[in-house]
Amino acid sequence: MEKISGSLIPYQGLVVSCQALEDEPLFGSHHMVAMAMAAKEAGAAGIRAGGLADIRAIKDAAGLPLIGLVKIQHEGSEVYITPTLEDALAVHAAGADIVAIDGTGRHRPDGRTLEATLAALKAAGIPVMADIATFEEGVQAAGWGADYISTTLSGYTAETQGTLLPNLDLLERLAAVLQVPVVAEGGISEPAQAAAALELGAAFVVVGSAISRPQWIAARYVKAMKVKAGSAATEAEG
Ligand SMILES: CC(=O)N[C@H](C=O)[C@@H](O)[C@H](O)[C@H](O)COP(=O)(O)O
């Protein structure tokens, strides 16, 4: 299937998600700008950033293509990634080249449908990445005009809870049928998985925690070492 070219993110590039919420140790634009500059030094083709302040600061400092979002929890809605049209407009105004929104089709806090939200952003000339969880959601969001489809929410919705990540099968299935760029995102924790995603048709790959969340990275070592220590202890007991 001929891919629609003209992606704002270089084809088959790495996008590093540099995000830290208020309850995370690295919260704050100073830290996220530093993380983005480190990613740029490594050769990242783009940055994914959350929060208007971080979007502005990272866009100014790194000058890389930027996928922006806000995370806002609303009572009565499970949608928290750029949940309303106003949020999407604010993310774009803050400097995001592409606005990432929830593309699952679930109830949105402003009562707008995903279709109407996508139509309004297209009319405003704002490139949109739809963060989806299932094949059907990806096809639907692309049909309603999303410019990029990303597997971000696979495993994070009620319907997909427990899905083993990264969900490269979802990526492969969507890349095989959609004309718009399909993005591998969510749970990519090894370089080989990112390379495999490109082989399976990803237009580019987004990696966050495995690069920009030290509390998550270090926890992997603690877990592995405890297992090792446990087995050694067993040996010692004889
Ligand atoms: C589920 C959700 O809200 N994901 C968020 C989307 O912006 C980010 O917290 C993730 O870090 C990003 O998608 C990259 O994924 P990973 O950190 O697994 O490489």
pLDDT at 232: 61
| Calpha distance 186→166 (Å, rounded) | 6
- Residue 173 belongs to some domain of the structure: yes
Whose C-alpha lies nearest to ligand 1, atom 1? 153
Residue 49, in any domain of the structure:
yes
Amino acid sitting at position 175: A
Looking at the domain assignment, is residue 19 inside a domain?
A: yes
Residue 168 lies in a domain: yes
Contact between residue 128 and residue 148 where contact means Cβ atoms under 8 Å apart: yes
Q: Which domain holds residue 187?
A: 13-228
pLDDT class of 238 with cuts at 50, 70, 90: low
d(CA 67, CA 163): 25
How confident is the model at residue 1, as a pLDDT?
A: 43
CB-based pocket (< 6 A), ligand 1 = 17, 19, 69, 152-153, 156, 185-188, 206-210
Mean pLDDT estimate for the chain: 95
Q: Could you give the ipTM of this predicted complex?
A: 0.99
The CATH number covering residue 112 comes to: 3.20.20.70
Residue 109: inside a domain: yes
pTM of the shown model: 0.95
Residue 181's region, left for phi above 0, alpha for psi from -120 to 50, else beta, is beta
Overall size of the chain counted in residues: 238
Whole-number Å distance, alpha carbon 153 to ligand 1 midpoint, is: 8
Specify if 6 maps to a domain. no
Other C-beta atoms closer than 10 Å to the C-beta of 4 total 12
Residue 24, pLDDT score: 96
Q: Specify the pLDDT at position 5.
A: 54
Determine the Cα–Cα distance for residues 98 and 121; give it in Å rounded to an integer.
11
From the CA of 80, give the closest atom in ligand 1. Answer: 3
From the alpha carbon of 166, which atom of ligand 1 is closest? 18
Q: Tell me the per-residue pLDDT of 137-182, one tens digit each, with 9 for 90 and over.
A: 999 999 999 999 999 999 999 999 999 999 999 999 999 999 999 9
Q: How many domains does the chain have?
A: 1
Give φ, ψ of 133 to 5 degrees: -125, -25
Q: Is residue 4 a part of any domain in this protein?
A: no
